[in-house]
Structure 1
Amino acid sequence: MEAIGMSADEQIVSLDLERFEESMALSQFAFQFKRSTSELEEIKYNFIHEPADRWAVLIDGQLAAQAAVLNLQTYIAGRPFQMGGVAGVATWPEYRRQGLVGKLLVHALQEMRVKGQTLSFLAPFAFGFYRKFGWGTYTDAKTYTLLVNQLPKRTTYSGKIERVSGYERVAEIYEVYASQFNGSLQRSPLWWERRVSKRKPGQIALFTDIDGNGQGYLIYEVAKRELNIHEFIYLNEEARSALWSFVGQHDSMIERVVVNAPVDDMLTDLLPDPRVKQEIVPYFMARIVDVEAFIKLYPFTGGEEEQFYLKVTDTYAPWNTGEYMIHIDVKGEVNVSRDPQLFKPDNALELEIGDLSTLMLGYRTTAQLSSLNRIRGPLHAINRLHRRIPERTTYLLDFF
């Protein structure tokens, strides 16, 4: 599709391999890093092989701005959704504050809609900037820092822990774990090989139960007397206890442990003294790309047959702006209509696209949005909608 509001000397084009060096020059400048020749070859491999759409704004034939949309999948209430992961957004300084990134984002949203990517995630350089374009915060990053004397007590356990190489035996465990949350990635073998291995180096410790079934794992590294756990994944309490006991076996060589966890994690309930360092910071943002398509796929909670009426405002994806009648049956199956004859304005809930996104992903509840006046409408309709949205914690273990 043609981008909105482009001037005569501006053009949005697909960023192909011929412009790889130009793209890397802009990325290294904008993100203030310098890559070696071997590292650039690694990035080039990803450029060629990772499923993605890459876009550039050319002005008078020169690269002015760029962005990539990775073709990814994410879990919502256990169901995989196609998601466009926006990454690598950059502009040369002489072209900044001319609206080029906004034009790239609008173009990317149009293309994501065509591809059936009903959601989009990104890691913002500035939350306020992307909030203007309809993205809303959807997950936080929680980090514990524990001194050795603050670790959970070691316990005896059935099963065993072994160090393994490669990801074949832990990938299946990850998918079961990730599907319990909203907003975690469904990882492909290429993602494990090219992304996880590079961002999360170190040892892999696998826990198997007495029947030999994998129930949890750690990816971690030790340096300068600190044990940094990149992934602490467990499918049951036995696995969690065993993995913490394994972490405790490193006590003679470390002073502290750093570990990431879901925001509602209850580790402190297991500690003799819960007064440990915890840090929670906003992490990624999410946006519904196509409201009608997303709602039709959304796994609402079962209940009585009923209708909801939504009035959505979306400035930068105008196909979403409008009125929706949503019929949900007893099993949670959905029918959506935009027929104005069926819409009942007196029962309608009104909200912006970013707030709808945080609501449907479970980061905010209807009560929270109502208290901020970000969802408006009859209280009975707000409460009924709350009951149909599955309760899931949002969590993302990856970065892009």
Structure 2
Amino acid sequence: MEIRGYREEDRGALGRLGALAFGGSPVEWEEYYDPAKNPRLDPSWVSVVEEDGEARSSATVLPLEVFVDGAAVPLGGVAAVKTHPAYRRRGYAGALIRHLLGRMRRQGMHLAALWPFSHAFYRAYGWELVSESIRYRLDPRQLATGPEQRRIRAHRESDLPQLARLLERRAARHPLGVRRTGGAWDRALKDRELAVYEGEGGAEGYLLYEVSDRDSRRTPPRILRAVELVAGSPDARRGLLSFLASQDPEVFEIVHKTSRGEPLHPHLGSAHLRMEVEPEFMLRLVSVEGALGHLRRSPSAPLVLRVADDGLPENAGEYTVGPEGIFRGSGSPHQVSLDVRQLAQLYAGYLPAGRLAELGLIRPGSGRALRLLEELFPPGDPWIFPADHF
């Protein structure tokens, strides 16, 4: 088995692999490896397992930026991990993941994320779930209408810079929210529509949505999927929700996914409706020291994190975090022992330190150490907008 870089002649084989693994057509998957059609792709980050002259497995890292404490930092979006069905369970995928983690670490990419086919598989390599969503299925009549809807209009090309600023402000409030660049906006808008709320100073909010074809086997026969709702003011939110409420309930069911920290409940007349909590992405701290260095906060006194990492032994050890900065080694009597997987959950703000301690998943040496850990890692609302999934 050889793990090598991508070659242009691999495109056909990887297109067939993608269709076998994930569905779609081989032609669509060949376009995935064309940077002109997939602007987030850097071919140098595509890795291929070759054996007996065949490309049998592949994985890609998308070099993205995400927000940590409001600042954009690099993150490797691991995507398109696939193996030919005839060659599964031969260790190809695991070898690729280890290879990519090592390469990201060497190149100073301290964070990585992915949407897993199996949480248990990736957990074995040091990844952990750090985000959830709430999926709503609504009759339009369950949403309130209001006069703000009069300010809704179709989008114009000139709106995009303002919409991008609205999204960036919103994404920066979510730990690990993806920073969307111009090329990624083109991808997000493909085959979708935009409704814009026009405020006194221009666009104040927008709804990115798509509609399904009619399916006579279901009632109602079509789905309006609200992919992304971004509001810069309460009026904008009311107007965009009123737009959804105005759809014909005999024709459309509304489907909308939110982060767990921004539920639709405050905007509904009744919360007795269909909701599903779904797992979102997993996070890997590729370099613990580097990831901690992205933080723009510290506890009020030095705290030692005693980190275990069975996937990347280079991460294992003690880290002192305090008002004076971060260094490897023990520089405080206040200590917490934890695995890199739980450190990822704390880092994202997914689970509070006190809850992890109650569950026995972290081991603070004292009550003071736990309080310092809570200062360092306050709860947050980790979220990547669906149009930025990878």
TM, length-normalised to structure 1:
0.87
Matched, 1:374 2:361: yes
The match for 2:236 is: 239
The match for 1:279 is: 276
- Could you tell me the percent identity over the aligned residues? 28
CA distance in 2, matches of 1:238, 1:204: 17
The match for 1:125 is: 117
Given candidates 345, 360, 385, the residue that maps to 1:358 is 345
Matched, 1:383 2:374: no
The match for 1:59 is: 51
CA distance in 2, matches of 1:150, 1:25: 44
CA distance in 2, matches of 1:350, 1:311: 5
CA distance in 2, matches of 1:158, 1:252: 17
Letter in 2 for 1:42: E
Matched, 1:208 2:198: yes
The match for 1:269 is: 266
CA distance in 1, matches of 2:68, 2:150: 32
Moved more, 117-126 or 265-274: 265-274
Letter in 2 for 1:209: G
Letter in 2 for 1:97: R
Q: Given that residues 68 and 294 in structure 2 are in contact (C-alpha distance below 8 angstroms), is that contact kept between their aligned partners in structure 1?
A: no
Structure 1, residues 172-218: CA drift from partner, whole Å, max 9, x if none?
Answer: 21111111111211011111113x134xx332011131122x22100
CA distance in 2, matches of 1:61, 1:158: 60
Q: Given that residues 18 and 29 in structure 2 are in contact (C-alpha distance below 8 angstroms), is that contact kept between their aligned partners in structure 1?
A: no
Instruction: Please state how far the C-alpha of 1:119 moved relative to its aligned partner.
Output: 0.6
| Change in 2 beyond 3 A, CA 1:310/1:41 | closer
CA distance in 2, matches of 1:48, 1:293: 29
Q: Given that residues 77 and 390 in structure 1 are in contact (C-alpha distance below 8 angstroms), is that contact kept between their aligned partners in structure 2?
A: no
The match for 1:3 is: none
Letter in 1 for 2:192: G
Instruction: Please state how far the C-alpha of 1:101 moved relative to its aligned partner.
Output: 1.6
The match for 1:226 is: 223
CA distance in 2, matches of 1:270, 1:19: 50
Structure 1, residues 60-94: CA drift from partner, whole Å, max 9, x if none?
Answer: 33222211011001112212120001111112244
| Change in 2 beyond 3 A, CA 1:26/1:40 | closer
Letter in 2 for 1:338: R
Q: Given that residues 16 and 26 in structure 2 are in contact (C-alpha distance below 8 angstroms), is that contact kept between their aligned partners in structure 1?
A: no
| SS class of match (1:247) | helix
The match for 2:321 is: 326
Letter in 1 for 2:305: L
Number of matched pairs: 374
Letter in 1 for 2:357: S
| SS class of match (2:356) | helix
| Change in 2 beyond 3 A, CA 1:57/1:266 | closer
- After superposition, residues 64-213 of structure 1 pair within 5 angstroms as 64-152=56-144, 154-157=145-148, 160-166=151-157, 167-194=160-187, 196-198=188-190, 201-212=191-202
CA distance in 1, matches of 2:148, 2:348: 36
| SS class of match (1:204) | strand
CA distance in 2, matches of 1:96, 1:246: 47
Q: Given that residues 14 and 29 in structure 2 are in contact (C-alpha distance below 8 angstroms), is that contact kept between their aligned partners in structure 1?
A: no
CA distance in 2, matches of 1:94, 1:158: 54
CA distance in 1, matches of 2:249, 2:331: 67
Instruction: Please state how far the C-alpha of 1:390 moved relative to its aligned partner.
Output: 4.0
Q: Given that residues 268 and 274 in structure 1 are in contact (C-alpha distance below 8 angstroms), is that contact kept between their aligned partners in structure 2?
A: yes
Q: Given that residues 352 and 379 in structure 2 are in contact (C-alpha distance below 8 angstroms), is that contact kept between their aligned partners in structure 1?
A: no
The match for 2:310 is: 315
CA distance in 2, matches of 1:252, 1:296: 50
Given candidates 310, 329, 348, the residue that maps to 2:335 is 348
| Change in 2 beyond 3 A, CA 1:350/1:252 | closer
- After superposition, residues 17-32 of structure 1 pair within 5 angstroms as 17-32=8-23
| SS class of match (2:362) | coil
| SS class of match (2:292) | helix
Consecutive unaligned residues in structure 1, runs of 5 or more: 1-9, 330-334
Q: Given that residues 11 and 30 in structure 2 are in contact (C-alpha distance below 8 angstroms), is that contact kept between their aligned partners in structure 1?
A: no
Consecutive unaligned residues in structure 2, runs of 5 or more: 213-220
CA distance in 1, matches of 2:201, 2:326: 47
CA distance in 1, matches of 2:133, 2:26: 27
| Change in 2 beyond 3 A, CA 1:220/1:161 | same
TM, length-normalised to structure 2:
0.89
Structure 1, residues 84-107: CA drift from partner, whole Å, max 9, x if none?
Answer: 011111122443323222221111
Q: Given that residues 119 and 287 in structure 1 are in contact (C-alpha distance below 8 angstroms), is that contact kept between their aligned partners in structure 2?
A: yes
Q: Given that residues 225 and 253 in structure 1 are in contact (C-alpha distance below 8 angstroms), is that contact kept between their aligned partners in structure 2?
A: no
CA distance in 2, matches of 1:390, 1:377: 16
The match for 2:383 is: 395
CA distance in 2, matches of 1:43, 1:101: 19
CA distance in 2, matches of 1:320, 1:188: 31
Q: Given that residues 148 and 254 in structure 1 are in contact (C-alpha distance below 8 angstroms), is that contact kept between their aligned partners in structure 2?
A: no
Moved more, 80-89 or 319-328: 319-328
Letter in 1 for 2:294: L
Q: Given that residues 72 and 84 in structure 1 are in contact (C-alpha distance below 8 angstroms), is that contact kept between their aligned partners in structure 2?
A: yes
| Change in 2 beyond 3 A, CA 1:48/1:158 | closer
| SS class of match (2:226) | strand
| Change in 2 beyond 3 A, CA 1:336/1:44 | closer
